[in-house]
Amino acid sequence: MSSKKEDSTPEPFDIDQLKASVRKSVELEEPIHELRLSISEGLYLLALGDVEGQLLKKSEKVIDYGLIAGGILQLSLMGSISLKKGFIKIISTKQTGHIFLDKVLKNLTEGGGLIEEILRLKNELQKVHDDLEELLIGRGILKREENTLLWIPLSERMENVNYAYEKEIRNTLRALVLRGFKNDVSFSILFSLTHDCHLLSEVFGSTSEIADAKNWVKNPKKLAGVDEDLARILGLISHFFIEKLPK
């Protein structure tokens, strides 16, 4: 599986220009090239109900496995680990600054099999949802009132400098399948995990669109940035979800 290290030096940007770009992408349903969130954060947003922040019934039994898989694959993209032939090699233990990814990295086993590690971390990691919710609240996407997790209105989210939210993700995943949009590889991974966690219907409306999406999942090398090694890894994860986890 190919990997790339992210430059930790933030690029200068114009906040007002970025807000305008986000507003345009949402209002015109335009896709974006790079995922503004981690893969696991994006997947978690798709698994939350639209009214209150409760996990959708169709994904609640499998979402933790998807979140952990997303974290491991993100660490591979960042160059912290490699996943040759489905086994984990730890390249760097340097913290990423991302609370969820750092927890996954800290608890990975050198030489462990990918699926075995997903199963083990599912049982050992505590407060996975709390970590992701803390991140999303900090980004101004969600808020907590008493014991309820709520979405911050889109108009208010646009005024937050973190400018990241679910609508952009849906637009881009739809463009990936329906228009062949060439996005960053993180979106390709998120798309595959969206299928694995039974969330395609949260993105694609009609039966024909869902059928098209499933065909893309069957041929992951068609997805942007997916080489033969990553295609094999995504296939391994999908097989695990289909064969081992509750429907």
In a domain, residue 197? The reply is: yes
More confident residue, 245 or 16: 245
Domain of 54 in residue numbering reads as: 37-244
In a domain, residue 11? The reply is: no
In a domain, residue 26? The reply is: no
How many independent structural domains does the chain possess? 1
pTM summary value: 0.84
CATH number at residue 167: 1.10.3630.10
Q: pLDDT digits over 111-159, tens only?
A: 999 999 999 999 999 888 989 999 988 887 888 877 677 666 656 655 5
In a domain, residue 122? The reply is: yes
The yes-or-no verdict on residue 50 having pLDDT over 80 is no
The yes-or-no verdict on residue 22 having pLDDT over 50 is yes
pLDDT of residue 56: 87
In a domain, residue 101? The reply is: yes
In a domain, residue 168? The reply is: yes
Which CA distances in Å does 21 have to 38, 68, 149? 19, 31, 27
In a domain, residue 132? The reply is: yes
Cα–Cα distance, 137 to 131 (Å, whole number): 10
pLDDT of residue 49: 78
Single out the residue of 161, 229, 243, 170 nearest to residue 204, CA to CA: 170
In a domain, residue 172? The reply is: yes
pLDDT of residue 181: 84
The yes-or-no verdict on residue 36 having pLDDT over 70 is yes
